[in-house]
Amino acid sequence: MNYFFVFNASKFKQYVFIALAVVFAAAIVYSEQSHVSVFMNSEPSAIYSVQTEKKVIALTFDISWGEERAEPIVKTLKENGVSEATFFLSSPWSKAHPEIVDQIKKAGFEIGSHGNDFTNYSKLDDEEIRKQISTAHSILTELIGKEPSLIRLPNGDFDKRVLRIADDMGYSVIQWDTDSQDWLNKGVDTLINRVVNKAHPGDIVLLHASDASLQTNEALPVIIKQLRDKGYQFVTVSDLIKQTEVDTVPVEDQA
């Protein structure tokens, strides 16, 4: 027995069109999901830079010890018209130098946490990691009058576990894309060239205001001028990460 199937060409074309539309829509959703910021990822990530065409850049300064370099750097930033920068302060240093913390705050600069003990958090157990972050959080909150939400971990060390704990505690982990290597004290010109040549739109620049970095303040006015000459505007890390996309780097847990 022979069977004959009759197709309605008009309806068939309609079904094909609907199917293609569904596939196209799914592709768009997938594409968009692959480009959302770090805050939409299932796993928290560290922020290294922001993908943007705008010439915005964040100068960041870590301070963990010393009392001679921080104040001159704050003064130099102000004298050169930089009103937005981010300082990451360790809590022991902050507790020992509340007057400098107050100067940074009054200058209007953003303050983030640089942790408590200067140790690699990836080597600590979960409870100790939480203790380190919360201790620093309490001290900085009292000193600056608001809760910090950004943290740069000591030595820039972390793994997925540290990232998850920091995220649970309300922190975004901030790294850098341009490392000035100012603490190596290779020379003012070397420092200037390294920062200016590596800088790019959406960049986070790592600098130090601890006493070990002897040449940062001398290089800073030239860095500021040359970046401005290239069309850059200085912003805080928080303002930077309000851009559309955040550049993250996959983290592998340490063995």
> Mind listing the pLDDT tens digit for each residue in 222-248?
999 999 999 999 999 999 999 766 666
User: Over the chain, what is the mean pLDDT?
Assistant: 87
Query: In Å, what is the CA distance from 178 to each residue of 60, 107, 162, 206?
Result: 10, 24, 23, 6
Catalytic entry in 35, 62, 211, 229 = 62
Q: Which of the two residues, 143 and 254, has the higher pLDDT score?
A: 143
pLDDT at 189 over 70: yes
Least confident interval from 110-124, 138-152, 172-186, 233-247: 233-247
Scored b (16 or more CB within 10 A) or e, 100-130 reads bbebbbeeebbbbbbbbbeebbbebeeeebe
pLDDT of residue 245: 63
pLDDT average, residue stretch 104-111: 98
pLDDT of residue 43: 85
Question: Does residue 208 carry a catalytic annotation?
Answer: yes
Nearest to 118 by CA among 191, 210, 207: 210
CA distance 48 to 59: 12
CB 150 within 8 A of CB 172: yes
Query: In Å, what is the CA distance from 114 to each residue of 88, 137, 188?
Result: 5, 10, 25
Nearest to 241 by CA among 32, 62, 86: 86
Question: Does residue 137 carry a catalytic annotation?
Answer: no
pLDDT of residue 255: 42
Return the percent helix, strand and coil in the chain, to nearest 5.
45, 15, 40
pLDDT at 21 over 90: no
pLDDT average, residue stretch 96-115: 98
pLDDT average, residue stretch 66-95: 97
pLDDT average, residue stretch 147-169: 98
Q: Which pLDDT band, with edges at 50, 70 and 90, does 25 fall under?
A: very low
Residues constituting the chain: 255
pLDDT at 36 over 70: no
pLDDT at 161 over 90: yes
pLDDT at 9 over 90: no
Q: Which pLDDT band, with edges at 50, 70 and 90, does 87 fall under?
A: very high
Q: Which pLDDT band, with edges at 50, 70 and 90, does 252 fall under?
A: low
CA distance 69 to 62: 11
Nearest to 99 by CA among 75, 67, 76, 133: 67
pLDDT at 5 over 60: no
Catalytic entry in 114, 182, 208, 247 = 208
